[in-house]
Structure 1
Amino acid sequence: MFLLRCLIFGWFTPIIKDSGGLNENRFNPANSSTNSIEYARRNDMKSLKIVMILIVLLLVPGYALSENPGYMRVSLIEGDVQIKTPDADEWGIASVNTPLAEGDQLWVPQDGRVELQLNTGTYIRLDENSALQILSMDEDSSQFYLSQGYAYIFYDTPVSGGVIQIDTPDASTRAFDRAIFRIDMS
């Protein structure tokens, strides 16, 4: 930290030698020569450039490596909950922290339960014999299709204008603000 502070504030400029030894009065403009002042300024600019390059090199990799962790994940499972992704031909067993995307389908069999959590704080709980498909998902809106079963939804949106929509074979339910509701398709 001290070295960084020295580079930024120019405390680490080299001492310039004269014919008479060390120039102890180099910070006094009346006693220093024009060449030593120009040299000190150039050195300060070089130090500043080096510090700026180091800052950029340290910050860019962190930004490049950060990626969106996903909008939704499986947060709790009881039983053998199954998942089918658009690129898979067969159903597979879901596990906790499985990321979910558009087009994914979930099946909760007899004696099973699952909780899905969006990164906004919204969560959807599905009870046994429930089937849910994720139709669309982004930062401020989500749309799902519940073909059968029971769903409990706690909708919490951090942005105004957000919406969640649950479609069923018979109706469609939307919430535009914080809401708690359930849908029973049995």
Structure 2
Amino acid sequence: MKLAQRLRFRGVCVAVILSFATTVSWAEEYSHARIVRLSFVEGTVTVERPDVEEWAAALVNTPIQEGFKVSTGEDGFTEVEFENVSTARLGQLSLLEFTQLVLAPSGGKINRLTLHEGYATF
């Protein structure tokens, strides 16, 4: 009887460990470790972080993360630089949201940007 209980206990432990390992690997499917920054700022440029409801003045080298929004005023221009030196440039009176910035398991970069208003070049 004790042998059956031990085997059952070991089986439950293995199942719990495997389910935890599966959950951890699923959660790590995409990495949010990206190097994206404002490389040029001229005039009125502001940034809104997803966890803060107030807009803040943007500075050169401000790191950009998923969920950030960048806005330019009437005299504002800005440039966002990605790891591979590609850029997104915003003109006057523009609003750009960084909807998704992740690394896929294959190493590919996923950039999903939403231009709410204004103009930009990518």
TM-score tier after normalising by the smaller chain length: 0.5 to 0.7
Unmatched 5+ stretches in structure 2: 1-31, 104-108
- By how many angstroms is 1:122 displaced? 1.3
Residues 50-95 of structure 1, C-alpha deviation per residue, up to 9 Å, x if partnerless? xxxxxxxxxxxxxxxxxx9742100000012000001112100010
2:34/2:101 contact within 8 Å kept = no
Inter-partner Cα distance in structure 2 for 1:122 and 1:137: 14
| 3-state DSSP of counterpart to 1:100 | coil
AA matched with 1:107: S
**1:102 counterpart residue number:** 66
**Which amino acid in 2 is paired with 1:136?**
Q
- Structure 1 residue runs of 4 or more that deviate by more than 6 Å after TM superposition: none
Percent identical across equivalent pairs?
31
Q: Give the structure-1-normalised TM-score.
A: 0.44
Deviations 1:73-126 (A, max 9, x none): 000000120000011121000100000001001110001100000012210000
Aligned length: 86
Please give the secondary structure, in 1, of the residue aligned with 2:71. Answer: strand
Q: Label 1:123 to 1:132 Cα distance change in 2 as closer, same or farther (>3 A).
A: same
Q: Which runs of 5+ in 1 are unaligned?
A: 1-67, 154-186
Pick the structure with greater CA Rg. 1
Using CA pairs under 8 Å that are at least 6 residues apart, name the structure with larger relative contact order, 1 or 2.
2
Amino acid at match of 1:100: I
AA aligned opposite 1:111: D
Partner amino acid for 1:98? T
